[in-house]
Amino acid sequence: MSDLIPVNPEKFQFRNLHPKIFIGTASDRYAGWIGQIYTPGRYENRLTRRLHKVGDQSFVEEVLPVESVEEYFEHFSVLEIDYTFYQPLLDKDGRPTESYQILRQYQNYLRRGDRLILKVPQIISARKIRKKGQYLLNEGFLNPEVFINQFYKPATELVGCFLSGFIFEQEYQRQEERFPVERMALALADFFKAIPSETRYHIELRTESYLSKPVFEVLERYGVGQVLSHWTWLPSLKKQWAKSGKRFFNQEAIIRLMTPLGIKYEEAYAQAFPFNKLVEGMLPPEMVKETAELMRQGVNEGVNIYVIINNRSGGNAPLIAKEIARRFLSLLPSIPG
């Protein structure tokens, strides 16, 4: 039924914006979206509250029940599930984790045409993991067996027909901690050679020096997408894409709008909370402009573009989506056909 929903950005209906464009958000179920995405009163008395500590501050988040994802998909065409970043779907002994159980709940409410993007667990994609207040070397970094057995197989078995992408997010690495670029490229090549061949893999490298020819050659060889990420310490979306020679390495591309440039996670979260409105002066105009232009470029090249929006990039993801949709629609006359 949701496939028949008309396009109307003013009413937060982005699902059928264009056959090659899929707009969604990083996570869902935010109470701050009631009245925009979620119907007032529909989930009354079923909100849960959780304490979320960010830096030195604590915030009480209000969260809707999982079933609200049905209403989410009446507005958006894709959803990024990010809690899988913190825990694989199966533990070392093959037992389902809490992440698996939550994803299985989501599965119960998905319908034809709904699309998911899953973040690959950090035990696979990150060189260092935060434990007990320290960042420690990750022994499972780019371990093919861990990826295949604890994440890839259970994910495809559980939600494979809805799955549009896997995001490998690598943390920012300080200069004194980095691999040489050639070594990183070799490590990525060994990993992608050892796992099932897919067109749904995308990697987000948050260390600018890795956005270089040796790494891009590996991505092109294995058809791995370069995630264009609007994030604290990365250059602009336009500059990231230019570094790769303005190429898409497969027929699917992901743009993630995480934070304003130069703004740390903790600061962006505190500014945006409780995620119910745009924060004055927070939303970067260039981010909106460059995202729309990349959407147009993808359409011109026949590439599917997935735009994933985080509340922290301006205060409220649905309102940011509205700004991007407006900008993209204004460019339609310049898109062939």
Q: Please determine, for residue 221, whether its predicted confidence score (pLDDT) is greater than 70.
A: yes
- Dihedral of CA 131/27/311/328: which sign? positive
DSSP-derived secondary structure letter, 134: E
Nearest to 172 by CA among 107, 125, 240: 125
Q: How far is CA 191 from the centre of its chain?
A: 21
Distance CA(93)–CA(190), nearest Å, equals 25
Using pLDDT thresholds of 50, 70 and 90, give the confidence band for residue 102. very high
Using pLDDT thresholds of 50, 70 and 90, give the confidence band for residue 332. confident
The per-residue pLDDT for 5 is 66
The per-residue pLDDT for 176 is 86
Share the mean pLDDT of the chain. Answer: 94
Using pLDDT thresholds of 50, 70 and 90, give the confidence band for residue 135. confident
Q: Are residues 32 and 42 in contact, defined by beta-carbon separation less than 8 angstroms?
A: no
pLDDT digits (tens, 9 = 90+) for 148-175: 999 999 999 999 999 999 999 999 998 8
Torsion of CA 296, 299, 305, 310, to 10 degrees: 20
Mean pLDDT of the region 186-209 = 97
Radius of gyration of the chain (CA): 19
Per-residue tokens: 275: 């995620």
Helix axes 213-222, 181-194, angle to 10 degrees: 10
Distance CA(230)–CA(9), nearest Å, equals 22
The per-residue pLDDT for 107 is 96
Q: Are residues 232 and 264 in contact, defined by beta-carbon separation less than 8 angstroms?
A: yes
Nearest to 248 by CA among 297, 213, 182: 297
Q: Please determine, for residue 2, whether its predicted confidence score (pLDDT) is greater than 80.
A: no
Distance CA(15)–CA(2), nearest Å, equals 8
The per-residue pLDDT for 4 is 59
Mean pLDDT of the region 330-337 = 72
Q: Please determine, for residue 99, whether its predicted confidence score (pLDDT) is greater than 60.
A: yes
The per-residue pLDDT for 334 is 66
The per-residue pLDDT for 1 is 44
- Dihedral of CA 246/15/102/29: which sign? positive
The per-residue pLDDT for 88 is 97
Q: Please determine, for residue 20, whether its predicted confidence score (pLDDT) is greater than 90.
A: yes
Question: What is the domain extent for residue 261?
Answer: 2-334
Distance CA(125)–CA(246), nearest Å, equals 25
pLDDT digits (tens, 9 = 90+) for 278-297: 999 999 999 999 999 999 99
Q: Are residues 113 and 75 in contact, defined by beta-carbon separation less than 8 angstroms?
A: no
Q: Are residues 258 and 204 in contact, defined by beta-carbon separation less than 8 angstroms?
A: no
Q: Are residues 66 and 106 in contact, defined by beta-carbon separation less than 8 angstroms?
A: yes
Distance CA(334)–CA(337), nearest Å, equals 9
3-state class (DSSP) for residue 240: helix
Domain count along the chain = 1
Number of H helices, E strands in the chain: 11, 13
Q: Please determine, for residue 337, whether its predicted confidence score (pLDDT) is greater than 80.
A: no
The whole-model pTM stands at: 0.95
The per-residue pLDDT for 333 is 74
pLDDT digits (tens, 9 = 90+) for 297-316: 999 999 999 999 999 999 99
The per-residue pLDDT for 335 is 61
Distance CA(140)–CA(153), nearest Å, equals 17
Among 1-5, 51-55, 205-209, the range with the most confident prediction by mean pLDDT is 205-209
- At 198, which CATH number? 3.20.20.410
Backbone phi and psi for residue 174, each to the nearest 5 degrees, phi listed first: -65, 155
Q: Are residues 226 and 202 in contact, defined by beta-carbon separation less than 8 angstroms?
A: yes
